Amino acid sequence: MKEKFLKTFLWVAVALALLPAAASADLQFGDSVPGYAIATSTSPNTTITLLDVTNHDLLGGPGSLRGIACLFVGPPDTANPPGSLVNIYATVDGGARQTITLNAANFAQDHSSGKQEFTDWLPFHIIFGSLKLELNRNNNASGTYNSIVCQATYTLFVFGE
């Protein structure tokens, strides 16, 4: 009896261990086309488009936002407290616009004469049919950076022919 219990337990354990792999396999839609977008904001309080994938029907499948990174570029920050903000607005499948706010003060500083702060890549895994990313550099007395450069990586999935 004990041997049968151990065999059953072993089969259940193996099945549970493989379940996440099987679930993630469902997220692969066929061939994929990697994508990269970059935008630079040099004007405070102006919204610009970082990525606009709204006519994805040509490729036939959904996409996935993989990551976002921003670089704050400028002279030494004299604001008190130091830091500059960038708002990233994400609209997925025509839904409500969501805001991600990044503050330069939260990231490591490059103390060179050109002073830069890099957020590093912030990972995402957002499946979309359409996606619009916009960025807004907010400098209302919160920082003195000359510009903010943001990047996004994504994958578009193509269904087989």
The answer as to whether 74 is a domain residue is: yes
Residues 6 or more apart whose Cβ sits within 8 Å of residue 34: 153, 154, 155
By CB neighbour count within 10 A (0-12 exposed, 13-18 middle, 19+ buried), where does 159 fall? Answer: exposed
- The phi, psi pair for 92, rounded to 5°, reads -110, 125
CATH value at residue 40: 2.60.120
For CA atoms 111, 116, 117, 119, give the dihedral sign. negative
pLDDT of 71 above 80: yes
Do residues 74 and 144 touch, judged by C-beta distance below 8 A?
Answer: yes
Task: Give the count of domains, the chain.
Answer: 1
For the stretch 101-113, pLDDT in tens is: 988 878 877 766 5
Q: Which domain holds residue 111?
A: 30-158
Three-class DSSP category at 75: coil
Alpha-carbon distance of 56 to 129, in angstroms, equals 7
The answer as to whether 43 is a domain residue is: yes
* Of residues 52, 140, 66, the one with CA closest to residue 103: 140
The answer as to whether 132 is a domain residue is: yes
The two three-digit tokens of residue 76, written as one number? 């030494």
The answer as to whether 68 is a domain residue is: yes
For the stretch 10-52, pLDDT in tens is: 444 444 444 444 444 444 556 788 999 999 988 878 899 999 9
* pTM more than 0.85: no
